[in-house]
Structure 1
Amino acid sequence: MVKRAVKQRSARASALIIGVDGGNSKTDILLADTSGKLLSWVRVSGSNPQGIGLLPAAALLRSGIDAALTRAKRGGERPAAVALCMAGIDTPRDAKAVRGALAGRGSARIADHLSTRNDSEAGLRVATTDGVGIAIVGGAGVNAIGVNEKGKTARFAALGDISGDFGGGGGLSVAALGAAVRAYEGRGPRTSLGRAILRTTGFPSLRALLDAVLEDRVPHGGIGALGRVLLEESERGDRVAREIETLMIDHAVAYAVAAQRRAPSRRKRIPIVLIGSTILSSLPGYRSRLYAALIAAIPNAEMRPLREPPALGALLYALDESGAGPAARTRAEASLRAAIKKAKPVKI
């Protein structure tokens, strides 16, 4: 009886797949089976190993995966495939380190097959089906990737200030606060950013806000939300905010041009997939300026703002690697794309 139960559990486990989209501020974990049934979606805090450390990131991912299995009443089962698409996996060494910290051995193996990719690749898989194109990520931080039809890939360091990055919510927020303080102290041009920042944060003065930042008293989300304030003030016509927004757009264009140059695609239309809450701001003027700049640089570009959760791309990679046949994968992918539109994450 015991042997039969173990055998049945193994058979069921081979049908499970998990996709993980791990970012700086949050991590989405999707659990499904190879028939295309979405079983659970949990959300935990950010898991970038460069931000919180390799071992804490691995522990967070394991607990999140366990939570997804438990919510689906499949606790203790081992998935056929787990695909990680994470910020902080920027080199083969990063990928090897994450796999080593998470994979486990013997009965503690996290999956029959574990794969690791950068989070930018998840969006490409969702938006293009074959993973060919350019993806630009603009969330808390920034990154990009280019993949052509021959599989050649252009990657970027994406290490923040030390690799010359700009355009994520964190960088925009610091730039907004810095511009506001310079204006207040008479070191920079006048701007509406100071008043807008105080309205948003509720602090009585910029000095009080700076003191709170220094003393770690800023509420959850910190000054990271000020990137949105900057784009809103640019939309209202503030010159200083517009200059910072333009710099952000210039960096996005530079990523796209470099990706196309290093992994050139010969397709008539080149998808540019935009991923992340910052770059996907719905402000119409900003969006128009971003699209115009990208198309001016790459005239045959096709803008594809990603509306589905990037974790779906990770889940589809897991489906690809699950051992299911081509016809079964095609049916399952269609079902999962439909199911995710009605699903919502449970925060753990």
Structure 2
Amino acid sequence: MAVDAGNSKTDVALVDTTGRILGTARGGGFRPHADGVDAAVGELARLVAAAGAGPGAAPVDHVQACLANADLPVEEERLAAAIERCGWGRSVTVVNDTFALLRAGLPDGSAPRGVAVVCGAGINCAGLTPDGRTARFASLGRISGDWGGGVHLADEALWWAARAADGRGEPSALATALPAYFGLAGMPELIEALHLGAVARARTHELAPVLFAVAATGDAVARAIVARQAEEVVVMARTALARLDLLGERVPVVLGGGVLAARHPLLHDDVLEGLAAHAPRAEPVVVTAPPVLGAALLALDLLGAEADGYAALRARWA
């Protein structure tokens, strides 16, 4: 059983070692911090049943769960214990969902070695060497030094747009583009709508694509935000490579998550230029396949699948 549970969606897939997909299910985001571990795993149980496992079904050989918000080792342990109690599989492994992206971008049949940066709703980075050493970040927001991801970018765009509108900041087309997205006349109206609830604060993440569209017109403020995001992607990758003594070696740097997988030209080019300057032997790889592919590949690794099984699985999610 492969599980990829992100901030915005959760995928469950039952696969066999030949690469056949026996069942799938998709649900909402996985939020053990907000909902509690038991409630989050309870919602996961609904998807497991929908995929054809769980109560009444024989346990699978292995459950490979790659979970958002499993940011610290202690959180991985707690979530693994909760999933083990469900009895879905004979063995259970829980890792942060960044490792699913990393595995999806690495070649099959060789010892894992590389670094992944995921930039979706949030941002994270993880690296792995053949001897089992890992590099990772807490990815807990500002308290752990993070900058970026779609939610953060939208908030930055709003901050700069508000200051552009009231004169405290540089002029920017963001001041008209952001409220226009919600059908509003200007930033005062958008600020009021967000404050009073006429526009749900949860919808602000929708503004990240607007930021990229404004940046593409040459707007200096929007362009600076995008450039800052690229810098953060590069510094995370370079730091992880350095921690693992891989900076001087030719290894993949896997890029994924909604923001990076979209290949926005300005962001994508800035990331490639930054990697070329600061990690010149890195080999950028953009993964657009569903992250559950990486979880399934990790399960096949553990179960000793044949090469044909990997190829069939990748073809299914190509």
Does the TM-score normalized on the shorter chain lie above 0.5? yes
Which residue identity lines up with residue 223 of structure 2 in the other structure? R
Q: Which moved more, 1:186-195 or 1:278-287?
A: 278-287
SS in 1 for 2:18: coil
* Map of 1:44 onto structure 2: 27
Give runs of aligned pairs for residues 1-348 of structure 1, distance below 5 A: 18-69=1-52, 76-104=57-85, 108-128=86-106, 129=108, 130-218=111-199, 222-265=203-246, 268-322=249-303, 326=304, 328-341=305-318
CA distances 1:124-148 after superposition (whole Å, capped 9, x unpaired): 1111134310100100000001212
Q: In 1, are the aligned partners of 2:124 and 2:139 still within 8 Å (CA)?
A: yes
**Separation (CA, whole Å) in 2 of partners of 1:221 and 1:274:** 25
**Separation (CA, whole Å) in 2 of partners of 1:167 and 1:136:** 11
Which residue identity lines up with residue 3 of structure 2 in the other structure? V
- Sequence identity percentage: 35
- Offset, 1:274: 0.4
SS in 2 for 1:321: helix
**Separation (CA, whole Å) in 1 of partners of 2:190 and 2:104:** 40
Q: In 2, are the aligned partners of 1:29 and 1:68 still within 8 Å (CA)?
A: yes
Q: In 2, are the aligned partners of 1:169 and 1:278 still within 8 Å (CA)?
A: yes
- Offset, 1:75: 6.1
Which residue identity lines up with residue 316 of structure 2 in the other structure? A
CA distances 1:212-238 after superposition (whole Å, capped 9, x unpaired): 323444369601021121122112111
Q: In 2, are the aligned partners of 1:32 and 1:39 still within 8 Å (CA)?
A: yes
* Map of 1:5 onto structure 2: none
SS in 2 for 1:278: helix
Q: In 2, are the aligned partners of 1:135 and 1:273 still within 8 Å (CA)?
A: yes
Which residue identity lines up with residue 281 of structure 1 in the other structure? A
- Offset, 1:304: 0.1
SS in 1 for 2:52: helix
Which residue identity lines up with residue 25 of structure 1 in the other structure? S
Relative to structure 1, the CA distance from residue 256 to residue 233 in structure 2 (aligned partners, 3 Å threshold; closer, same or farther) is same
Which residue identity lines up with residue 158 of structure 1 in the other structure? S
- Offset, 1:157: 0.8
CA distances 1:179-223 after superposition (whole Å, capped 9, x unpaired): 111111111110001221123222333233223323444369601
Which residue identity lines up with residue 112 of structure 1 in the other structure? R
SS in 1 for 2:41: helix
- Offset, 1:287: 1.3
**Separation (CA, whole Å) in 1 of partners of 2:38 and 2:175:** 40
Unmatched runs of 5 consecutive residues or more in structure 1? 1-17, 342-348
**Separation (CA, whole Å) in 1 of partners of 2:247 and 2:142:** 33
**Separation (CA, whole Å) in 2 of partners of 1:51 and 1:23:** 14
Give the RMSD, CA atoms, in angstroms: 2.1
Unmatched runs of 5 consecutive residues or more in structure 2? none
Report how many residues are paired: 315
**Separation (CA, whole Å) in 2 of partners of 1:245 and 1:86:** 27
CA distances 1:6-52 after superposition (whole Å, capped 9, x unpaired): xxxxxxxxxxxx11111111112122222321123322111032344
TM-score (norm 2): 0.92
Q: In 2, are the aligned partners of 1:167 and 1:249 still within 8 Å (CA)?
A: no
SS in 1 for 2:260: coil
Indicate the structure (1 or 2) with the bigger Cα radius of gyration: 1
**Separation (CA, whole Å) in 2 of partners of 1:296 and 1:76:** 53
